[in-house]
Every structure is written in C-alpha cells, then in structure tokens.
Structure 1
Amino acid sequence: MSQNITDVLMVGATGSIGQLAVRAAQRHGLRPRALVRDVRQAEQLLPGVELVQGDLERPASLRRAVGGADAIVFTHGSGGDARPDARAHVDYGGVRNILQALDGARPRVALMTSIYATRSDIPGATPWKRRSERLLRAGGLPYTIIRPGWFDIAGPTQRRLVLEQGGTADGGISRDQIAETLVRSLLTGTALGKTFELIAAEGEEPSDWAELFGVLKSDESGSVDGVLDPADLPIEDEPRRVRADLESVRFLRGTSG
C-alpha cells in the first residue's frame, strides 16, 4: 500500500541516518529530495540526489522545499549544537516549522524521535522530542512515529526488529535498520497512525513488514500522545508557547480540508 508516494522530502538528509534513509528510499523506487542548508557540502554527501535549500529555523525558507512532497521523512536532530535551547529550536521547532509550511498539504510522514521520548527518569532527557510527536499527531497528517534505541549498539547477527510500545523498551539498533524502517513505514498500510520503540535482537531480518507493523496498537484518535504513553506531561502544564503551537497546527488541520 504505497498511497501513490513518489516524491519524498528528507529532513536531516546529510546526517548519518538521513543519508541511509535517502538510499533506502531510492532502493524502493522513491524519489528523495533532500532539505539542506549547505548545497555545496550536500552535493559531496548525496551525489545525484535532488537538493533543495532551506533552514529548519527559518520558516520562510521551507515552503519551496515541502511543495509537491508526497511524504516526509524526519531524521534531523540537534546533536552537535552547543546551544542550551537547541532541542527546542531544532528537534521540536523543525517539525513545527515544516508542518506550518505545508499550508494545507497532507503528505504522509515518518518521524524519528528517541526511545527515551517519554522517559522523564533518564538523566539528561528532555520533553522536546515528545512535544514534536504531539505536534504531528495534532496536525492530523497520516504518520508513523519511530523511537529508535541506541544507535549502532547491535551486533551483525542482531537483525530481528523488535517493535514495542509504552516507553519501557531499551536496547540498540543499527543505523541502516532505522533508515529501512522509516522508509518501509511510508509504504506499509499497517504502519499508519502508530508510534513505537525500535530495537534489534538476535535473528533474521523481517520478511513481512505488514505483519510486523500490524500487531501494534494504533494511537487513539484525537489524542496527542502515543497509545500507551505515560500520562505524566499534561497539556495544561506545558509552556504557553507549546500550547499555542498545538492550537496552531490544529487550526491548520481544520482549515486544510
């Protein structure tokens, strides 16, 4: 079930997982378009890939990038950004700015966040990735949200994918497995409307992706949280600007039809 997906905007395309996701999209016959800040640098990393210049922190630069996209894959992140508020501006703000730039368009979305997105008990964890998930759900687009485990903490024989829900999973996953799962989620109907943690275990690669995604619970309609997420971040306790962003994407959802 491809939902006529051809053109895929790749957000975070020059990152280690983003580059793999671009290649995965090409393997599956899709046409990736990479959102990049530095075109010259991206030409070296992604030869032969269509590039569109834009900056996740500059909303006006994103309208051209999102135009005509059938799907969007988010693999961006603030890693390496030393600003104390980088996660708010990039991990969260980047999703908000892309959603607002869509201007009523309804591409299918695969969003990569973190296995610890809902874990307030983990040292150094922040709620910004969880907030980005909430924006996507509130916006009403067809989506899959993938929370991968520790990058590269998986051996060569750990090719079996384990998909869990509820925020209690822990483990590792290879970057190529994350990239493949993101792209497969766009092309598999049973992945629609689902949020899950992703780790690897001993065993073989999946042969039936529809079944792999199909056993998961769907997120509840109208909820901004994943189906089994802990109820420990009430909307009414969120900062005013976060609540305003949620209302903004809900408004855009209501005026897009």
Structure 2
Amino acid sequence: MTNVLILGAHGQIARLATSQLLQETDHHLRLFLRQPERLTITDQAREEVVDGDVLDSAALTKAMAGIDVVYANLGNAKIEAQAKSVVAAMTKAGVKRLIWISTLGIYDEVPGAFGQWNHQMLDGGYLETYAAAAKVIEQSGLAYTIIRPAWLSNADTVSYELTQKGEPFKGTEVSRKSIADLVVKLINDPQQHIGESLGVNQPGTDGDKPSFY
C-alpha cells in the first residue's frame, strides 16, 4: 500500500485518477483541496479529505505526514507560487516523490503550425507561468516527474505515447483518462521516469490544431 497525497483533488484528471486508484489498488488517498464538500467520497476507509490551500505552507506541510507520493493537479495564475510552496513543504516533511501536471509548450517544444497555434492560444501569462513553475520543480532536488499533456479531451479512451524534454512534441490532443492512467502507473511504480519531463499525446492526432477546435 502506498500513501498518496493528491493536491487539487477536485480537478477532472485528479478525480479520474482517484477513481482508478480506488478500483485497481489498495493505496490510501489523502485528498487536499479547497471546498472539500465538492467531492463525493466512495471509500471512507481509504479516502481522507483535507480542507486546505496549497499556498498555506503550514497546512500543506502537515498534510505531507506519512506520505509516499505527492501528485499535484494544480493550475492557475499562481502556479509558480504553488510550485514553490509544494517544494518547500515536501522538503520540510522529507517527502521526495512528486508527480506534477504541467502543459505542452513550456520549452517551446511544439513544432510547426500547431506550435504557432499553441503559442497564440496560451501566450500572455499561461505558458510563461507554467514554464516558471516547471523550472522550480526541476531545480527542487525532488524525485519529480513533470507531465506535459497535449490539449485535453473528455474522450472515453486510454491511448497515449510519450516524448522527452528536448524532443519535439507529438500530436495535438490526449484524453484526460489517458493522463490519469499515466499518473496511476507512476504511483504504482514510482521509480519510473524520475527526473523526466514527459510530453503526452494520443498517437495519430497530428495536425494544425486539436480536432475539437
């Protein structure tokens, strides 16, 4: 059994990962979020809800107690500050393994017309802040994996391939279920992809933009 802290536990990918973890593993899940009444708990023996803000360092550090893996499903204009808070709390608590959700394009790694479209859609505060947050994680000394999804869909499919930092990004889209599946795989085998930043896309989705745009 692994003790997992899920930050931003109400996020769509986080809820998919939680459901998969409950179905496929015996892990204990500590669900950290604001407004916890938004969550529906299905297994009180394995799900522990903590009401808190990631920027509250004392509450976050307390939530790290006994944790083996931190999965951070965060994201807003304060993502860099959130990254700094997570790193500080994990360091203080002595927790090493971090799975961090980011976005495509933070290294200007998306080629061609799709890369230009992605910049048009995400420049002006989004890519810049996510890139800054990823840099915080990469310089943290933690055993991190950064996940950079393509544009996200709600397709009921699990189909994905990976690219590494320094390689051109592939494809234009990927399902949230696919990202949740990758998160679960990393939690189940936490020695995988340590110190790596993974681009994630659905094979065969190359194009100038995602199919749903």
Q: TM-score, normalised by structure 2?
A: 0.77
Kept in 2: contact 1:146–1:198 (CA 8 A): yes
1:76 to 74, 77, 84: 74
2:2 to 6, 10, 33: 6
Q: Which residue of 2 aligns with 1:115?
A: 104
**Distance in 2 separating the partners of 1:134 and 1:28:** 32
Kept in 2: contact 1:154–1:172 (CA 8 A): no
**Distance in 2 separating the partners of 1:12 and 1:92:** 15
Any idea what SS the aligned residue of 2:75 has?
A: coil
More strand by share: 2
Identity of aligned residues (%): 23
Residue 175 of structure 1 aligns with an amino acid whose one-letter code is R
Any idea what SS the aligned residue of 1:191 has?
A: coil
Residue 168 of structure 1 aligns with an amino acid whose one-letter code is P
Any idea what SS the aligned residue of 2:202 has?
A: strand
Kept in 2: contact 1:112–1:182 (CA 8 A): no
Q: Which runs of 4 or more aligned residues in structure 1 lie more than 6 Å from their structure 2 counterparts after TM superposition?
A: none
Q: What is the deviation of 1:60? A: 2.7
**Distance in 1 separating the partners of 2:9 and 2:93:** 24
Unaligned stretches of 5+ residues in structure 2:
110-115, 205-213
Q: What is the deviation of 1:104? A: 4.8
| Alignment map for 1:93-242 (pairs within 5 Å) | 93-102=81-90, 103-119=92-108, 122-123=119-120, 124-125=122-123, 126-152=127-153, 156=157, 159-165=158-164, 166=166, 168-169=168-169, 170-188=171-189, 189-201=191-203
Kept in 2: contact 1:145–1:196 (CA 8 A): yes
CA 1:171 to 1:108, structure 2 compared with 1: closer, same or farther past 3 Å? same
Q: What is the deviation of 1:25? A: 2.5
Residue correspondences, number: 184
Kept in 1: contact 2:156–2:177 (CA 8 A): no
**Distance in 2 separating the partners of 1:41 and 1:187:** 27
Q: What is the deviation of 1:119? A: 2.7
Q: How large is the RMSD of aligned CA atoms in angstroms?
A: 2.2
Kept in 2: contact 1:92–1:129 (CA 8 A): yes
Q: Which residue of 1 aligns with 2:16?
A: 20
Kept in 2: contact 1:161–1:201 (CA 8 A): yes
CA 1:130 to 1:6, structure 2 compared with 1: closer, same or farther past 3 Å? same
- Of the structure 1 ranges 8-17 and 160-169, higher mean CA displacement relative to structure 2 is found in 160-169
**Distance in 1 separating the partners of 2:132 and 2:147:** 14
Unaligned stretches of 5+ residues in structure 1:
79-86, 203-257
Q: What is the deviation of 1:141? A: 1.2
